[in-house]
Structure formats: structure tokens, C-alpha cells
Amino acid sequence: MPDAGYKGHLAVVLHAHLPFVKHPEYEDFLEEDWYFEAVTETYLPLLEMMEGLVADNVPFALNMVVSPTLAAMMEDRHHAGRLRRYLDRNLNLARKEVRRLQGDGSLGPVARFYLERLERLDALYMDRYGGDLLGALRRMMDLGHLELMTCAATHGLLPVLRRNRSAVRAQVRIGALEYERHFGRRPMGIWLPECGYYEGVEDFLADEGIRYFVVDSHCLKFADPTPVNGVYAPVFTPSGVAAFGRDPESSKQVWSGEEGYPGDAYYREFYRDQGYDLPIDLVRDFVQPTGHRKQTGLKYYRITGDVKLDRKSPYIPGAARDRAAEHAGNFMFNRERQIEHLAGALGRPPLVVAPYDAELFGHWWFEGPDFLGFLFRKAAFDQDVFEFTSLSGYLRANPVQQVSAPATGSWGDKGYFEVWVNEGNDYVYRHLYHAADEMSRLCAEYPDADGIRRRALNQCARELLLAQASDWPFIVTMDTMVEYAHRRIREHVLRFGRLADQVRRDAIDESWLGTLESRDSLFPEIDYRVYGEGT
């Protein structure tokens, strides 16, 4: 909770999100590894970090988004089984590597480090949490250290979907309902996907009792009227929902691989992995059905500097951890000076909001969870300038704020949706608009469906939501798994159209419907009529 004795407050916000990827029709599917890697490298290490703080009675407050699609995978039995297999494969490889590198003074210690780490995380996941990641997050929230936020149902980019009001309403309402189902309470805050805001979206948030959201810096800079405190205090939108602005200074220090901490020479090199370095006979479990290799998570080298991958120096875990401690101290020092300056300039305690993708911490920046742990510990004992706060805690302590309407915008390159709407991916939106209009028409035609027709209409809603995920156009722009992104858009739109046709012809293929319900199995309590309250 904010305290009047401090000169200001710092809110760290981690946005944990992955698209829903489930392929039981394949024995092994590369894109499912996105989830397994994130659990092993980000979510479990973050929980381990928080468990250590609790055990040592270190006060801290962290804000974290758990998107509904991520939560769906965390509770799904299919994902639980394959995560268990993924951990077993990695543990088996790590044990083999410790034996192979015994006596190697450079890489042997790194192999032992990975084995001990994997054994520790495996015990945390299975023995302490019983495989229940949502329960572990709920416990940390109940202890008062973690504020969990929701997100739109499938991370649909709301400003682009607003052509059909029911499409926006469904994304927001299902996100709120899923949060309530998982955590036993209504959400106080929501992460607007890609920080995508347009004037009026807050009305849908207010309808769900949501109190706040986060926008990028320029959305407050160009708000009407201009916020007198810039991004260093929230504004209340006309609907009463608060908008918090991202602080660009603290973001850049952590985000940037060139100028920020993650690019330090002692940190682990992400792009050199044993899955590609080892002879193929030693990594058979990490070869795709296509014959292509994939990452194992065992990475033995550090960033080193501007040298080719084969010239990288061996990773030294202790040295990297020391650098994380130094960088945490530097980040703390910079926030102290920033907050002292702002307090004098504003004449009130400022709030610095520092939002990041959660997967930056651990997956991309391996030492990121250590950095956060050191930051919380140092801030608790080595300074008295600022206090960590939850966003709802800040609002409770500061219930009076300026009323202003933020400007339309997003985060990402150039700040105005270009990452998600460009010549490479804009074809998708005409199909999404048509499907959303069709969903509204289906609700009008069948306002009280039951039996198999109700099941089919609920599945129509799922397929539409999955097609709307902002992840697919993002992947196309980033030129990574492009074919998979196009495939997902195409398949969900086609499934929606086929189901809608079967509903109207009263000729629903129950066997096929059951396959879709099993494969695209998120949102078990979905009610298609969320699309039927007007457009």
C-alpha cells in the first residue's frame, strides 16, 4: 500500500500472455513449446522468486496480467501432460550433459547449474504446487503481494475490432468472467491488448466493474484535457475507469537489448542452444517430425559482445547473477533520483508505472527474475524514497484524480497499431468483421438455443474469438512463424463459417463439433448470447 512517508511510488506490471495453442492431433507440435518454455523459463522462476521473498519476509508488491488464453492452458489437462513430458525430456538431457561434461572446467559447471535449476523448478511445480500454476498465483495474491489483472478474452486488438460493438463487449466480458472463474473474484484491472485504447472502450470496462487499465505514454500526453501530472498519476476517464500511463524512462532501461540491461556481455546468450550445437544423436528428443532441430533451453554461452555465435564465451551463472544485482541497484538508484525530481516538480508524490511483457523476464532475459528479486530486496532495505504499490492500492489511497480522455493509441512500433494492421496482415480484418456480424445475426436468429445447437453456437463464439487474437497479425509482421499464423486465422474463420451454416441448416455434424470442442477447448462456461446484446 502507498504510504505518505515516501516521496513516490513504483508499480511494476508484468503482462503474461500467450495465444491458445493446442494440437492433440499431433504427437509433438513445435508451437506448443511456446507455453512449455514460458512456464520453465518465466512463470516458475517468477513464482520461485516471490516464494523466496515471502520466506524472507521481504515486503513487495507486483502487478501481473494473466491473460485468459494463458490461464486456459494452465488449467488444461492436455497441456499439463505435455508440460510434464517436456520437463522430463529436459531433465534427462541435463543429466546426460552433466555426465558428458564432467571434468570440463568451462562448460561442466554450466551443465550442473542447469540440472540443479531444472530439478528445483520441477519440485516447485509438482511437489509444492501439485501442477496447479493458477493456484500458486492465487495464493500469492491472497498473501497480498501480487495483484492479478485480466485481459481481453483472446487478446483481440479492441480499437480495430470496434466496428462491431458486440465483438469488443465479448472480448472484455469473457475476460472478466474467466478471471472470476479462476480466481474467485471480479477483476479490478485489465490489460488492454497491445495497450490498444480508443475513446469509449472504457464504457465496456465499467460495465464489468473494472477500475483501471494501462496505456502507453503518448495516450496520456495527448489526452484531452492534458493531464497536469503527465504519466505520473492516473486520470479518470469520463466513465470513471482510471487510465495509468507507461513511464518511458524505466521502460527503456529494461526493454532495450542495445541500451538496456539485457544486452550486458555477462548475461546468457539466447540464440545459441545445445539443440543446435550437439550431435543429433544426443538431442533426438528435440528434433521435430520434419527433421528440424529445436531449442532445449540449455544454453552454455554468454552474450560476450558483438561477435558471431561460434565465438561466444562460456556462460558463468554466478557472474551473471552478480550483474543482475548491480543492475537492480542501478535501476533502484535511477528511480530514486527520478522520483525525487518529479516530487519536487509536481508538488505531489509521483507514481512511476513500469509495464513489461512477463516473458522478457526469464525467457528472453534469463536473469530477469533475479533482477526483480534483487530489486525488491534492495528497495526494501537500502532506500526510503519510493514504495512498490499495486495499481488498485494506489487508487484506494488516492481516490481523487483529474478527469481526462486519453488519446487513441497502442504500444509497439510508432504507437498506432501499424504492427497489427499493415499490408502483410490487413486481409484478416474483413473476415473478422464479417464473422462478428454473422455472430450477432446468429444470436438474433437463435436467442434461446439449447442442446446441440447451443453447443454449436458456443463453439462459433470460441472460433471467432480465437481468430481475433492479435498474436496472429503480430507474428506475420515479425516474420517468425508466419505460415502457422496464417493457418490459425484461416482455420478458425473456416470453422466458424461451417458451423454457422450447419446451425442454419439444422444439420450439425456432432462428431466434428465434438472434435472442435476438444481441440479449441478454452472458456468452458462461454455463452454465445454475449454477442446478442446489440451491435
Query: In this structure, is residue 358 part of a structural domain?
Result: yes
533 classed as catalytic: no
CB atoms within 10 A of CB 293: 17
Distance CA 265, CA 151 (A): 35
Q: Which three cell numbers stand for residue 153?
A: 478474452
| Global pTM value | 0.96
With contact defined as beta carbons under 8 Å apart, do 181 and 175 qualify? no
Specify the number of domains making up the chain.
Answer: 2
Burial 164-177 (b: 16+ CB within 10 A, else e): bbbbbbbbbbbbbb
Confidence at residue 259, expressed as pLDDT on a 0 to 100 scale? 76
Confidence of residue 253 (pLDDT cuts 50, 70, 90): confident
Claim to verify: residue 352 and residue 481 sit in the same structural domain? no
In this predicted model, which residue has the larger pLDDT, 480 or 231?
Answer: 231
Distance CA 176, CA 254 (A): 30
Of the chain, the percentage scoring pLDDT greater than 70 comes to 98
Claim to verify: residue 462 and residue 511 sit in the same structural domain? yes
Claim to verify: residue 217 and residue 356 sit in the same structural domain? yes
Claim to verify: residue 443 and residue 405 sit in the same structural domain? no
CB atoms within 10 A of CB 25: 9
User: Could you report the per-residue pLDDT of 78-98, keeping only the tens digit for each?
Assistant: 999 999 999 999 999 999 999
Confidence at residue 257, expressed as pLDDT on a 0 to 100 scale? 59
- Describe the crossing of helices 133-142 and 68-75 by its angle, rounded to 10 degrees: 120
Q: Average of pLDDT values for 478-483?
A: 92
The residues near 381 (Cβ < 8 Å, ≥ 6 apart) are none
Confidence at residue 289, expressed as pLDDT on a 0 to 100 scale? 83
Confidence of residue 1 (pLDDT cuts 50, 70, 90): very low
Sign of the Cα torsion 454, 456, 457, 459 reads positive
Claim to verify: residue 220 and residue 353 sit in the same structural domain? yes
The string of DSSP codes covering 84-137 is HHHHHHHHHHHHHHHHHTTT-TTTHHHHHHHHHHHHHHHHIIIIITTT-HHHHH
Query: In this structure, is residue 95 part of a structural domain?
Result: no
Confidence at residue 239, expressed as pLDDT on a 0 to 100 scale? 95
Distance CA 372, CA 14 (A): 11
Query: In this structure, is residue 101 part of a structural domain?
Result: no
- Whether the per-residue pLDDT at 463 is higher than 60: the answer is yes
Query: In this structure, is residue 451 part of a structural domain?
Result: yes
Query: In this structure, is residue 105 part of a structural domain?
Result: no
Claim to verify: residue 371 and residue 391 sit in the same structural domain? yes
- Whether the per-residue pLDDT at 533 is higher than 90: the answer is no
The last residue of a domain, from among 386, 410, 434: 410
Claim to verify: residue 203 and residue 237 sit in the same structural domain? yes
Claim to verify: residue 426 and residue 406 sit in the same structural domain? no
Element (H, E) at 478: helix 471-478
Claim to verify: residue 352 and residue 461 sit in the same structural domain? no
Omega cis (within 30) before 225: yes
Is residue 401 classed as helix, strand or coil in its secondary structure? Answer: coil
**Domain of residue 477, CATH code:** 1.20.1430.10
Q: What backbone torsions phi and psi does residue 174 show, to the nearest 5 degrees? A: -65, -35
Closest of 343, 331, 339, 338 to residue 379, by C-alpha: 331
Distance CA 272, CA 268 (A): 9
Q: Average of pLDDT values for 153-157?
A: 98
Which residues is 64 bridged to in the sheet?
14, 148
The residues near 275 (Cβ < 8 Å, ≥ 6 apart) are 283, 286, 293, 294, 295, 296, 298
Catalytic option among 357, 491, 517, 527: 357
The last residue of a domain, from among 351, 385, 410: 410
User: Could you report the per-residue pLDDT of 99-115, keeping only the tens digit for each?
Assistant: 999 999 999 999 999 99
The owner of cell 513511464 is 247
Lowest mean pLDDT, pick from 59-63, 299-303, 423-427, 530-534: 530-534
Domain interval for residue 399: 8-75+133-263+314-410
User: Could you report the per-residue pLDDT of 384-419, keeping only the tens digit for each?
Assistant: 999 999 999 999 999 999 999 999 999 988 989 999
**Domain of residue 369, CATH code:** 3.20.110.10
Confidence of residue 255 (pLDDT cuts 50, 70, 90): confident
**Average per-residue pLDDT for the chain:** 95
Distance CA 237, CA 269 (A): 43
Confidence of residue 3 (pLDDT cuts 50, 70, 90): very low
- Whether the per-residue pLDDT at 41 is higher than 70: the answer is yes
- Whether the per-residue pLDDT at 434 is higher than 60: the answer is yes
Closest of 191, 159, 146 to residue 355, by C-alpha: 191
Of the chain, the percentage scoring pLDDT greater than 90 comes to 94
Beta strands in 156-195 (DSSP E): 189-191
Confidence at residue 295, expressed as pLDDT on a 0 to 100 scale? 94
Element (H, E) at 207: helix 201-207
Confidence of residue 535 (pLDDT cuts 50, 70, 90): very low
Query: In this structure, is residue 361 part of a structural domain?
Result: yes
Catalytic option among 178, 194, 269, 359: 194
Closest of 217, 211, 264 to residue 239, by C-alpha: 211
In this predicted model, which residue has the larger pLDDT, 534 or 185?
Answer: 185
Claim to verify: residue 392 and residue 426 sit in the same structural domain? no
Claim to verify: residue 426 and residue 364 sit in the same structural domain? no
Q: Region of 341 please: left (phi>0), alpha (psi -120 to 50) or beta.
A: alpha
Q: Average of pLDDT values for 55-71?
A: 98
Confidence at residue 5, expressed as pLDDT on a 0 to 100 scale? 79
Distance CA 513, CA 515 (A): 5
Confidence at residue 69, expressed as pLDDT on a 0 to 100 scale? 98
Claim to verify: residue 251 and residue 364 sit in the same structural domain? yes
491 classed as catalytic: no
User: Could you report the per-residue pLDDT of 330-387, keeping only the tens digit for each?
Assistant: 999 999 999 999 999 999 999 999 999 999 999 999 999 999 999 999 999 999 999 9
Strand 235-236 to strand 242-245: parallel, antiparallel, or no bridges (unpaired)?
A: antiparallel
